């Protein structure tokens, strides 16, 4: 049963009576269009287009041709003919939406956004316009950051016709059912909807050498001259659920779900699961692991839009089914939701053109949150593409299975694809260095703390390096420590990553042998209150103290040599105390802190880093008043005064404990 057939539910037909001058060929085409025979209708429409003189009538027929192409999966031709309808002033605003959809499937995202916006102006309350715009923007991101799935076209199983909707038929995953319109399908008639044979369910088997056998149709008990497809099997593989659709060039489409038991030699005669009137669409069954919930697709009243996903439930596999239950707006949209597959772990996979996606149909994953609400996630590229992607099935305990897609470079229309998610490998390689000299530090203790509670410890090598393996979906803190140095850390995460990755970090640790300057501590002239821009540097100091909970420190404030020493002692002491007060307010124990003002008694000594920034300062030079007086440039003098005005801390002890 082709997916394009059941899209009938979302179509607003254009009545033939709305068209004035009709040839008999156009009348036949309209009848086929109304019956859903799109493939047969296309050529009849195109053959008589030149006979249509009225601009409005012509626009109507151009729109119908575009719709036929869209519903038979030909996005490129759909794009061309919707554009022609727009150029002839087709009046229904929906033409802009469908034109945008075709452009999106052609990866013309910027052009598609323009058309969605035009549609939104005309129909501002239709959420599908916003979804389309969002889809185009997300598609660009997903293409640039693909998930880690590896995709393989199953060329040995595919044909130039449609092959889709796989289902496992054995617990070892060596038997596969799928739907196909290939030449071996039952009957000798072509579908007026697709131009291909009516679909049947086929079976293939994997041999010991890993080769799939030539597919063959299930027996005539299951397959008929009508459309059969979208198989789903019970967890013991002894009950088969599938869809059967009866359609002709004149009759209204109807699809039903059937169930068949496995007999001694073959499948037994199937019974219909009566859910709705024969003229309705009831299709795409998926039975859960315990056989008590059957998911399906339908256009029965009470839905959210086009086609919705519904479910039937029962108390046990021997009881009767209850009434249909719509899965609600978390799953269903004003668009079409189809091809549900319920994983044994309870995850629901389905395809939709109503949720933000890359193309026509995208495959989505839905899981329940703590409030028992469905949370829907797009499976992204390369599972999804701008083409139709649908009909997925998984192995029970592995991120592997099959799905179907109409993406380019396949063998035919819809093709079967195998997918596999390789195990993700994450490593972190790092280096511990001296924060002042940038030289490597060996024998530093490196601790890896994971958000799952795991803690690993290692030692840095002679070149300061270390390495750990990481787990998926985990946050990490890497802490480096060594006697005589302050602890420091780096943070990394594998959360949300879908591809293997190697992380590289550098962790500088600072020696406590000398005072450590705290940069960017600012006061107004002649005042000791901290300016707001000092908070970032002081918050970093709070973090250092929290990372090093056993140290006590002295906060030292230094002034330049201008002003009296007595006055500067008082000013520097108040400035140092202001820093201590800030640290206490942010949770640091007062017993770990000592404020000390040194006025101008300890001028800065130039080190290599300072000399690199200020070439006029020689390494080892004490920046006292005598040196300042030797400078000839007022700018250089002011620079030295500024360097001497600083706040530092030095470690007094490293054995502090809150225990008494």
pLDDT at residue 166 tops 80: yes
How many domains is the chain partitioned into structurally? 4
- Residue 519 — pLDDT band, cuts 50, 70, 90? confident
Tell me: do 262 and 244 sit in the same domain.
Answer: yes
pLDDT at residue 213, as a whole number: 97
Give pLDDT, residue 2.
44
Report helix, strand or coil for 156: coil
pLDDT of 309 > 90? The answer is yes
Give me the mean pLDDT over the 218-246 stretch: 95
User: Does the pLDDT at position 652 exceed 50?
Assistant: yes
CATH classification at residue 97: 1.25.40.10
Please check whether residue 218 is in contact with residue 202, taking contact to mean a CB–CB distance below 8 angstroms: yes
Judge if the upstream peptide bond of residue 245 is cis by omega within 30 degrees of 0.
no
Would the pLDDT of 505 be above 50? yes
Contact criterion met (CB below 8 Å) for 637 and 548:
no
Residue 312, classified by CB atoms within 10 Å of its CB into exposed (0-12), middle (13-18) or buried (19+), is buried
488, 599: one domain: no
* pLDDT, tens digit (0-9, with 9 covering 90-100), for 332-388: 999 999 999 999 999 999 999 999 999 889 999 999 999 999 999 999 999 999 999
Angle at the Cα of 548 from the Cα atoms of 545 and 549, rounded to 5 degrees: 85
19: pLDDT confidence band, cut at 50, 70 and 90? very low
Residue 659 lies in a domain: no
Residue 169 has pLDDT above 60, yes or no: yes
The reported pLDDT for the residue numbered 246 is 78
Band of residue 136 on the pLDDT scale cut at 50, 70, 90: very high
Of the two residues 14 and 101, the one the predictor is more confident about is 101
Residue 611 sits in a domain of what CATH number?
Answer: 3.30.1330.60
Residue 240 inside a domain? The answer is: yes
Percentage of the chain lying above the pLDDT 70 cut:
95
Q: How far is 599 from 576, CA to CA, in rounded Å? A: 11
**Which phi and psi angles does 563 have, rounded to 5°?**
95, 165
User: What CA–CA distances, in Å, run from 38 to 12, 31, 34, 156, 192?
Assistant: 14, 10, 9, 30, 7
Instruction: Evaluate if residue 35 carries a pLDDT over 50.
Output: yes
Same domain, 245 and 323: yes
Please, which pLDDT band fits residue 603 given cuts at 50, 70 and 90? very high
Q: Which of 394, 420, 446 is the last residue of a domain?
A: 420
Distance CA 578, CA 557 (A): 10
Instruction: Tell me whether residue 660 is in a domain.
Output: no
Whether 346 and 360 map to the same domain: the answer is: yes
Higher pLDDT, 48 or 296: 296
In this structure, the answer to whether residues 494 and 536 fall within a common structural domain is: no
Rounded Cα distance between 631 and 414, Å, is 82
pLDDT band at 22 (very low <50, low <70, confident <90, very high): low
The reported pLDDT for the residue numbered 252 is 54
pLDDT score of 264: 87
Instruction: Decide if 102 is inside a domain.
Output: yes
**pLDDT for the residue 13:** 36
| Contact call for residues 10 and 307 (beta carbons, < 8 A) | yes
User: Do residue 356 and residue 503 come from a single domain?
Assistant: no
User: What pLDDT, on the 0 to 100 scale, is given for residue 195?
Assistant: 82
Residue of 242 and 253 predicted with greater confidence = 242
Q: In the predicted model, what is the mean pLDDT of the chain?
A: 91
What local confidence, expressed as pLDDT, does residue 253 receive? 61
| Domain-located, residue 565 | yes
**230 falls in which pLDDT band (50, 70, 90)?**
very high
pLDDT of residue 440: 97
Specify whether the backbone of 562 is left (phi greater than 0), alpha (psi in -120 to 50) or beta: beta
Residue that has been written with the tokens 């046990």 in this structure? 316
Residues 395 and 430 in one domain: no
Q: Which two tokens stand for residue 365?
A: 């994953």
Q: Are residues 70 and 193 in the same domain?
A: no
Mean pLDDT across 430-446: 95
Where does residue 411 rank: exposed (0-12), middle (13-18), buried (19+ CB within 10 A)?
middle
pLDDT tens profile 112-123:
999 999 999 999
pTM flag (> 0.85): no
Measured CA distances, 144 to 126, 139, 148, 227, 267 (Å):
29, 9, 12, 39, 47
Query: For the chain, how many helices (H) and strands (E)?
Result: 13, 31
Q: Of all residues in the chain, what percent carry a pLDDT higher than 90?
A: 76
Same-domain pairing of 493 and 444: yes
* Of the residues 90, 125, 144, the one at which a domain ends: 144
Which among 71, 124, 127 is positioned nearest to 98, based on CA atoms? 71
Q: Euclidean distance between the first and final Cα of the chain, in Å?
A: 78
Last-in-domain residue among 476, 491, 509: 509
Q: Is the residue at 633 inside a domain?
A: yes
Question: pLDDT band at residue 147, thresholds of 50, 70 and 90?
Answer: confident
Cα–Cα dist 94/105, whole Å:
17
Does 658 fall in a domain?
A: no
Q: Which two tokens stand for residue 251?
A: 């009759």
pLDDT band at 251; cut points 50, 70, 90: low
Same domain? 235 vs 333: yes
Expressed as residue numbers, the domain containing 229 is 150-420
Q: Are residues 594 and 452 in the same domain?
A: no
pLDDT per position as a tens digit, 447-489: 999 999 999 999 999 999 999 999 999 999 999 999 999 999 9
What's 335's domain CATH number? 2.120.10.30
Please tell me whether residues 495 and 524 are part of one structural domain. Answer: no
Which pLDDT band holds residue 4 (cuts at 50, 70, 90)? very low
């Amino acid at each position: 049963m082709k997916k394009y057939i059941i899209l009938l539910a979302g179509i607003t037909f254009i009545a033939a009576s709305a068209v004035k001058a009709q040839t008999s060929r156009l009348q036949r085409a309209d009848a086929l269009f109304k019956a859903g025979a799109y493939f047969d209708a296309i050529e009849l429409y195109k053959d008589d287009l030149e006979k249509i003189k009225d601009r409005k009538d012509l626009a109507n027929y151009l729109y119908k041709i575009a719709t036929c192409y869209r519903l038979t999966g030909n996005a490129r031709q759909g794009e061309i003919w919707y554009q022609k309808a727009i150029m002839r002033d087709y009046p229904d605003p929906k033409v802009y939406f469908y034109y945008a959809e075709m452009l999106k499937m052609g990866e013309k995202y910027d052009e598609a956004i323009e058309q969605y916006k035009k549609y939104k102006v005309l129909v501002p309350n239709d959420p599908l316009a916003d979804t389309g715009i969002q889809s185009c923007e997300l598609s660009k991101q997903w293409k640039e950051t693909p998930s880690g799935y590896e995709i393989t076209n199953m060329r040995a199983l595919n044909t130039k016709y449609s092959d889709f909707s796989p289902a496992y038929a054995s617990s070892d995953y060596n038997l596969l059912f799928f739907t196909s319109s290939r030449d071996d399908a039952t009957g000798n008639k072509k579908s007026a909807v697709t131009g291909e044979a009516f679909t049947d369910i086929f079976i293939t088997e994997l041999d010991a050498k890993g080769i799939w056998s030539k597919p063959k149709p299930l027996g005539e008990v299951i397959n008929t001259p009508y459309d059969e497809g979208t198989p789903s099997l019970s967890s013991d593989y002894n009950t088969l659920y599938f869809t059967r659709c009866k359609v002709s060039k004149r009759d209204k489409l109807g699809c039903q779900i059937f169930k068949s038991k496995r007999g001694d030699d073959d499948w037994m005669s199937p019974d219909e699961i009566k859910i709705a009137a024969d003229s309705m669409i009831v299709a795409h069954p998926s039975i859960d692991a315990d056989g008590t919930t059957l998911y399906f697709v339908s256009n029965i009243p009470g839905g959210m839009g086009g086609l919705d996903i519904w479910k039937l439930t029962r108390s046990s596999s021997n009881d009767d089914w209850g009434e249909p239950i719509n899965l609600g707006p978390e799953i269903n949209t004003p668009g079409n939701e189809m091809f549900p597959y319920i994983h044994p772990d309870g995850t629901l996979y389905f395809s939709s053109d109503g949720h933000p996606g890359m193309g026509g149909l995208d495959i989505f994953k839905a899981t329940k949150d703590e409030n028992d609400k469905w949370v829907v996630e797009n499976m992204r590229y390369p599972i999804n593409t701008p083409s139709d992607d649908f009909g997925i099935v998984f192995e029970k305990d592995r991120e592997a299975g099959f799905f179907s897609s109409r993406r380019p470079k396949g063998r035919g229309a819809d093709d079967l694809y195998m997918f596999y998610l390789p195990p993700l490998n994450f490593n972190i390689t790092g280096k511990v260095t001296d924060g002042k000299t940038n030289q490597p530090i060996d024998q530093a203790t490196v601790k890896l703390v994971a958000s799952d509670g795991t803690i690993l410890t290692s030692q840095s090598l002679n070149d300061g390096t270390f390495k750990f393996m990481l787990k998926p979906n985990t946050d990490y803190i890497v802490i480096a420590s060594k006697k005589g140095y302050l602890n420091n850390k780096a943070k990394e995460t594998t959360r949300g990553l879908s591809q293997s990755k190697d992380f590289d970090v550098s962790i500088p640790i600072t020696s406590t042998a000398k005072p450590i300057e705290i940069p960017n501590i600012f006061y107004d002239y002649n005042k000791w209150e901290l300016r707001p821009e000092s908070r970032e540097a002081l918050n970093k100091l709070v973090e250092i103290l929290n990372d090093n909970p056993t140290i006590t420190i002295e906060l030292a404030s230094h002034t330049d040599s201008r002003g009296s020493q007595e006055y500067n002692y008082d000013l520097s002491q108040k400035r140092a105390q202001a820093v201590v007060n800030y640290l206490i307010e942010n949770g640091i124990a007062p017993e770990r802190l000592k404020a000390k003002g040194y006025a101008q008694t300890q001028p800065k000594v130039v080190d290599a880093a300072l000399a690199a920034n200020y070439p006029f300062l020689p390494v080892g030079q004490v920046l006292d008043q005598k040196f300042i007086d030797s400078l000839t440039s007022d700018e250089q003098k002011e620079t030295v005064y500024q360097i001497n005005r600083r706040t530092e801390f030095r470690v007094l002890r490293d054995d502090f404990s809150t225990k008494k």
